[in-house]
Structure 1
């Protein structure tokens, strides 16, 4: 099966370099019209230049594709709205949004200024929120949309020196999970990509021989899978170095404690049973956890009759 995006309009944020550039080029190569968004700042978010985004557009156009550059700061809603308006004025629809833009301001939490925490949250989390909000009603009305959040193993599992980045990257997973529920009946599907690739974000974190293995194109294969017509919904796809895996949150079946045992001592006494993974399962929505616990309580009450 050949994956094509003919007739589709895609917005890729942070697309002047690295993963975003790779995503934009491959979408265009497969027929999509692409908005190449990039503020053009440094890795820490400082500065701005449209040169990188324009170079990506020129590369797309040289191969017969359609694209335009937009320098919106994704953390500024008015700029994002202007970007989406230009896409609608030019092409009349938006089918795909890949929220890829990001910055790093790494330090241990003890040494981190709150301003650095806030800025990383603004770009990664609120940038994804702003871009998604700007296209959400468009996608609902056309009854088609594919949205990707870019999460990270730093958010899913933690990484020293990245409390700000990790918090933002886990936050977009929660955002994605609820969007997937709300958009499902409108054929608007939302997923998350957890990439590992050699980019500006990782160039001084990993040795060169490892970076040489982590080509962005391997991650892009995963990203584009998540925006096909057959895309899943509410999936976290990890990709890097040619490896692909799904990441999921599981919850153990747990136990019910009688009212007299609902104490810290009672919880500790049942710790092994609480952590027993033999019947763990994914929870499809927050209320499903409540239902599970209420069913256990109801079963206990029935047993006492």
Structure 2
């Protein structure tokens, strides 16, 4: 048994050495497609990249790639009813195809242990050219991206352009709803509240054909709000008022369009609740959003971007005027 174990270790070391030799033999100016062609288990991902008509298939520096295996992408093509990626691109449109592919890329070279729990930018862009984010959550060697656990069969591979991880999952193009749902640390109450509204605001903010901006109160903000209105929690609020009151409240936190919030300093914007106005102001270096009822909140994180809009994280619930 000991000899067999030693033999397996030797085989593993030889395989690792061979892979490193393949990587180190690539010239620094090799295109990204050429670099990924050295990894047979992701040949379908390399094909998907090869038909992407933009800078993704050039040779960017200092990037991280989470590349799905051939089995994953083969099943994906079958589910999508496409024979290959050229057909998939034609079916879903170049814009969405590029966004889907770009969600597998991050603009800095990060080994697994360097991934943080945060919203981080990808190399995907929404229809307005705004850089899409992913919610990354890591605990030791366990990583989730947009709420989806990532099983890495090979990690921290060094290529001339950065770091390659090979995964048994493909990335999803995040909507506002998906970015809220993924962040259980800050938005567990908001996630459930959006689902409980009479007309399902979660579905509205999951649409890919419309743009919105959501002023998103975190859990601490909701806890303070419930206490202020004499409720113990979200269920208590619905019981005391009703689902329509919850929908009205949340609609007051949504505006149409995906806006760069800093560009709205000094402007009034209309929420989805009866076109009631919200004001954006910069005071003492801090952006604030307020309504004409005098309730205001600090915008503590700006312009978290999804395919269909943006999230502005705020520290207070905006009460209805």
TM-score above 0.5, yes or no:
no
* TM-score normalised by L of structure 2: 0.24
Relative to its length, the structure with more helix (as a share) is 1
Relative to its length, the structure with more strand (as a share) is 2
* TM-score normalised by L of structure 1: 0.25
